Amino acid sequence: MSAASSVFQKAAADGRAALIGYLPAGFPSVEGAIAAATAMAEAGADMIEIGLPYTDPLIDGPVIQEAVHRALTGGVRIADVLHTVRALALDGVPVFVMTYWNPVDRYGVDAFARDLAAAGGAGMITPDLNPEEAGPWLSAADAHGLDPVFVVAPSSTGERLAKVASVCRGFVYAASVMGVTGERDAVSDAAAGLVARVRAHTTLPVGVGLGIKDAAQAARVAQFADGVVVGSAFVQCLLRAPDTDAGVTAVAGLAADLARGVRAAGKTRLWKTSARPDDAPSGGDNG
């Protein structure tokens, strides 16, 4: 069983969704990012996504763009990303790398998979890689025991959902909205319907991300999803902080708040991770 599968299985046994937090490597510094991610896990995050900073972050909103820009300006490299993964994995935290495809392609697909696995990484999330072009990555992930995770969106057709789900392992990442990352005042009504549509094609857990910023929103998503993914809100904690220590404290506080929201939602979950697709609602607003 993979690290991601274990996380979702344990969360399901607790009657709740898993909390997944994102931070880019190298911001506010390499060690600062490690400290923040460690604090996030200690405060209640079940799994961590570490972003690989890239110069053309297509789906990232202004908050993550700013953090990534600062990381790149500070000289972060792929070696630093792998160092970050290794440091977190040594503490027993399942870690995925979230990355655009070009840096992996330039590094060498098999070499990246090999080095990520050696660092203790659980897998990789690739928002701009489609299944039709993913053959080398799927082969490398299989060879090195990594979970490949792809992204679906509200606009994805049933045929597309089936195709993407068929190549995912660990979980399927569902983007709750069309557009870029960033905090939003409300969870998209399309999110619950998208989760139900994905479940018609797979029994893999479904994690929902983009726009979740507080415990109330996390609790709402946790009612219908297997995983709640939060990124920009954590990054904003570091951007607003006067120094790294204050930023780490803010990240820990937000993680604890989100964890309380996810756990509170367990009392009103609309279906369980282990439910078969036929047991899920047909779509619409399940809030």
Q: SS3 of 74, please?
A: coil
- CA atoms of 188 and 168, how far apart (whole Å): 24
DSSP run (H or E) holding 234: helix 232-240
Looking at 31, 46, 49, 66, which residue is catalytic? 49
Looking at 31, 56, 60, 128, which residue is catalytic? 60
- CA atoms of 64 and 100, how far apart (whole Å): 14
Residue corresponding to tokens 């609790």:
219
Buried b (16+ CB within 10 A) or exposed e, 66-96: ebbebbbeeebbbebbbbbbbbbbeeebbbb
Q: SS3 of 21, please?
A: strand
Please name which of 230, 223, 225 lies closest in space to residue 264, comparing C-alpha atoms. Answer: 223
- CA atoms of 56 and 44, how far apart (whole Å): 31
- CA atoms of 44 and 66, how far apart (whole Å): 26
66 is catalytic: no
Give yes or no for a contact between 204 and 168, defined as CB atoms under 8 angstroms apart.
yes
49 is catalytic: yes
Provide the terminal-to-terminal Cα distance of the chain, rounded to the nearest Å: 32
> Which residues are catalytic, by number?
49, 60
